[in-house]
Amino acid sequence: MSVIYRYFLILAACTSLLVGIQIPSFVDQYEKRLDAHFIEAQNNLRGYREIADKYHGGSIEALITKHEQSADPTFREEAKPIKNIYQRYLRFSDQKRSLESELVGKAAFIVMHGDEELINETYSNYSFTIPLTRLAVLSGFFTAALVVLVIELLRLLLSLFRFTGRSPRRAWNSL
């Protein structure tokens, strides 16, 4: 193993350790941002919910439909912002339910199904920290181990393909 490769591996491990330590903090900041937007949408919807409770059996959808079908253009136009607020409320509500799990599940959900608006906001306003909590350290070590393992597997595969002139056993033994 060359000196340059060893230093590259150490650098990759250290970098991935620091990135891995950030995962719990990013998830936490994403959840806090989600909570703030959810509360805002809930508050914006409150008055319309009261009207829906009073006149439409609690159905916001019925209230929106009533506005959309109104002869008055003002009420028809009002349906759009009500619908937007309601859809935003539902979107954030679904996100909150989906994040009711452990860190790995939360991180996987954010990566695969996270709200793009919230991810961008969290990333652009993210405050980097080096929390030395048990969860952050484990996350960092797991990320570092995973990155080093992937690098080693790639090195092994490249070495096997490089030694195509030799037998696979000799190529393997020369590693």
Query: Which pLDDT does position 135 carry in this prediction?
Result: 87
pLDDT, tens digit, 9 for 90 and up, residues 2-20: 888 888 888 898 889 888 8
Tokens of 28: 């936490």
Question: Which tens digits make up the pLDDT trace of 124-147?
Answer: 999 888 777 888 888 998 999 999
Q: What are the extents of the domains in the chain?
A: 3-173
Residue 159 or residue 35, greater confidence: 35
Are the CB atoms for 38 and 160 separated by under 8 Å? Answer: no
Give 125-134 contacts, CB < 8 A, sequence gap 24+.
Answer: 125/29, 125/33, 126/26, 126/29, 127/29, 128/22, 128/25, 129/22, 129/25, 130/18, 130/21, 131/21, 131/24, 131/25, 133/24
